[in-house]
Chains A and B, each alone.
Chain A
Amino acid sequence: MYQEVILDHYKHPHGRGLRDGDAEVHHVNPTCGDEITLRVLYDGHTIRDVSYEGQGCSISQASASVLNELLVGKELDRARTIQETFLELMQSRGKIEPDDAMEDVLEDAVAFAGVSKYPARVKCALLSWMAWKDATAQALGEDSVKEKTV
């Protein structure tokens, strides 16, 4: 579960700290008290920045760092594909062995495959991703999305 990649992101997070954004959300994981405040900044449909501040376990913190690394600079459509692929992997209960195609999409995020075997931790891994989805919806003037992830 604790892959080197995850521990690296945990100890040296990418893009941590709050910066300018078009929308801000605050999401919590009530089962363990993980919290994240996340802002998105768009330039048209290009993601200029995802900034965040929060507290939580290594999985939730590393996941936010990976999210920042993967999504900043991407077009919204591509980012949505990445988010949906990550969600699919995390909800697989350890049954998906990521193939090359999935690795191409998820890059460092494939390291979280092992986390999907631990239902109690899936929410930790998804916290920042659901926050990003919600913030993006708000930035684009859509309804806030808060959905059950497990």
Chain B
Amino acid sequence: MSDAKLPGLLDAEAIRKDFPILDRVVHDGKKLVYLDNAATSQKPRQVLDAMSDYNERHNANVHRGVHVLAEEATALYEGARDKVAGFINAPSRDEVVFTKNASESLNLVANMLGWAEEPYRVEHDTEIVITEMEHHSNIVPWQLLSQRTGAKLKWFGLTDDGRLDLSAIDEVITEKTKVVSFTLVSNIMGTINPVDAIVRRAQEVGALVVVDASQAAPHMPLDVQALQADFVAFTGHKMCGPTGIGVLWGRQELLDDLPPFLGGGEMIETVTMHASTYAPAPHKFEAGTPPIAQAVGLGAAVDYLSAIGMDKIEAHEHALTEYAVRKLQEIPDLRFIGPTTAEDRGAAISFTLGDIHPHDVGQVLDEQGIAVRVGHHCARPVCLRYGIPATTRASFYLYSTPAEVDALAEGVEHVRNFFG
């Protein structure tokens, strides 16, 4: 790196010691440069240890049984809920519902609203609003709801520089709108969206607000009260936790009023052959044996990130993103898909490289040990919007370094020469 130390960087070398996988070499001795963090992050030893400790010493089913292990497992599982509640500044721990992942969280909300009574019910002659930059997991559940209820699905389009086009916000969000669901940070373009403007308009018309925070929770302080949303969804595996655990935060009164989606053990109060009554939230929405070890792992991840400080992680990634945007901009034929500066953007950077297909870019980068994501990133409408089949995406995290940005820029140059 030619530059002096970038402002706001964490001591990534010290942090990397917590992540054994980052020491891997691939393809006959190439040092791994892991830049696919928007797809999934790596897990620190603290998370791995918490999960194996759970499995080796405390494993039991939760909320059942009175034996020692059952009580320990329950305490650990519910302790993870407390940690997550603190991490997102939830007013109450009972507002934190554990799910399988963010997709399940969003599907859960869509189904609650489809089965709800008035005033929440999404039905014929009402409207659902999303945006063109959503991950498929925040598009398809709403398409399904729209098809099943007859509600109209509408969306905000995008500007040429990868931002939401809110110029017609009053026509998009109307008195008929029941729910507005949008991503806080785009997984493909990195765009950070203006929450306040959308929430203000949604509140004016009495629509519920759902925020997909999958790319936000890992990378910046997340305060569900400050967001003023009604539901917030995110997943564990992008924030140093394991796969198989996600979170849906919802406002207490909504969780109390809205109907369950999945039925089963754990979510009931009493059951007869004729009818059942339900447990209070969050358990009303957690049918069946939950992902216990995964919740414990997420709790450990939250502790790990909080100890470093989400504001510091945000600053670190911002510095790296600014540096990466500057370095990549120097490469001929490289076109950013998304904002071309580091302002109001997260640490996921998508680009195209002349006519070279992203799969070829990704493959030749991989040969150099550099792991990026290629394809449409489960956000195909964004690719259609910009008239491209796919992008190459590099995404950073708290353990990423300026040297890795340099490796990426050199790698992309090599790709150009290889296919040039």
A124 to B380: give the CA distance in the assembly, Å.
18
Residues of B within 8 A of A118 (CB): 363
A-B contact count (CB 8 A): 43
Residues of A within 8 A of B376 (CB): 33
The interface size bin for chain A is: 10 to 19
Residues of B within 8 A of A59 (CB): 359-360
Smallest CB–CB gap between B379 and chain A, Å? 12
A32 to B375: give the CA distance in the assembly, Å.
5
Question: Which has the most chain A C-beta neighbours within 10 Å: B357, B376, B418?
Answer: B357
A61 to B419: give the CA distance in the assembly, Å.
13
Smallest CB–CB gap between A57 and chain B, Å? 4
**Interface: B408 (CB within 8 A):** no
Residues of B within 8 A of A32 (CB): 357-359, 374-375, 389-390
Smallest CB–CB gap between B355 and chain A, Å? 9
Segment 328-378 of B: residues with Cβ below 8 Å from A: 356-360, 363-364, 374-376
| B389 pairs with A56, CB closer than 8 A | yes
Question: Which has the most chain B C-beta neighbours within 10 Å: A35, A57, A59?
Answer: A57
**Interface: A1 (CB within 8 A):** yes
Segment 23-57 of A: residues with Cβ below 8 Å from B: 31-35, 55-57
Interface of B is mostly: helix
Residues of B within 8 A of A31 (CB): 375
**Interface: B383 (CB within 8 A):** yes
Smallest CB–CB gap between A117 and chain B, Å? 12
| A2 pairs with B359, CB closer than 8 A | no
| B390 pairs with A33, CB closer than 8 A | yes
Smallest CB–CB gap between B87 and chain A, Å? 34
**Interface: A92 (CB within 8 A):** no
Smallest CB–CB gap between A106 and chain B, Å? 22
Residues of A within 8 A of B419 (CB): 7, 58
A71 to B228: give the CA distance in the assembly, Å.
62
Residues of A within 8 A of B364 (CB): 2
Mask for B406-420, Cβ within 8 A of A = 1, else 0? 000000000000110
Chain A residues with CB under 8 Å of chain B are 1-2, 7, 31-35, 55-59, 61, 118, 121, 124
Q: List 23 A-B contacts (CB under 8 A).
A: A1-B363, A2-B363, A2-B364, A7-B419, A31-B375, A32-B357, A32-B374, A32-B375, A32-B389, A32-B390, A33-B376, A33-B380, A55-B389, A56-B357, A56-B359, A57-B357, A57-B359, A57-B360, A58-B357, A59-B359, A59-B360, A118-B363, A121-B359
